[in-house]
Amino acid sequence: MNDAPIARVQRVMPAAPEVVFDQWLDPESLQEWMCPRPVRVVAVTIEPRVGGSVRFDVDDSGTSVLITGRFLAIDRPHLLRFTWSNSDWPDPTAVSVVNVAFAPFDADQTLMSIEHSLLPPGEFDNFQNGWALTCDQLAALLHGG
């Protein structure tokens, strides 16, 4: 059993669940908002089907990082679940799991909930803070800024 803490972030997004959900499967959109700045996604590969691959080529202040995973669940517009591995983790073969839930909230808004579990030791703060900033970036994009 893994006793690692789970990074949890919730945000109200200024768009309907279908719109917010689709941002997670759109490579061009993901390049705009995925990963907390100043980290940048320079290339994205998404195969939006269960078992399909997820790949983010990332520039972290001049250091190349590869994030890879596979979709475990896709239930539009309610749920995305995928594995996540970082090439710069002490054990780059370690596999964590990202769960993203989308629920209607007020008129044309979405409560988006992210849970990132099975994180390697020492990575909780990076991901708790990183997901919070990443959610803010997505909200700004959806808001038109």
Domain boundaries of the chain, sorted by first residue: 7-142
Span 108-134, mean pLDDT?
96
Instruction: Quote the percentage of the chain above a pLDDT of 70.
Output: 98
CATH of the domain spanning 7-142? 3.30.530.20
Assessment of whether the complete model's pTM goes beyond 0.85: yes
Q: In Å, how far are 82, 88, 101 from 68, measured between CA atoms?
A: 10, 12, 20
pLDDT at 60: 92
Distances (CA, A) of 8 to 30, 51, 77, 92: 20, 24, 20, 22
pLDDT tens digit sequence for 50-105: 999 999 999 999 999 999 999 999 999 999 999 999 999 999 999 999 999 999 99
At 137, is the secondary structure helix, strand, or coil? helix
| Phi/psi-derived region of residue 39, left when phi > 0, alpha when psi is between -120 and 50, beta in every other case | beta
Tell me the mean pLDDT in the region 8-31: 97
Closest CA to 9 of 125, 112, 122: 112
Contacts of 89 (CB under 8 A, 6+ apart): 120, 123
Please report which confidence band the pLDDT of residue 144 belongs to, taking 50, 70 and 90 as the band edges. confident
* Residue 145: predicted pLDDT: 57
Q: Using 50, 70 and 90 to split pLDDT, how confident is the model at 123? A: very high
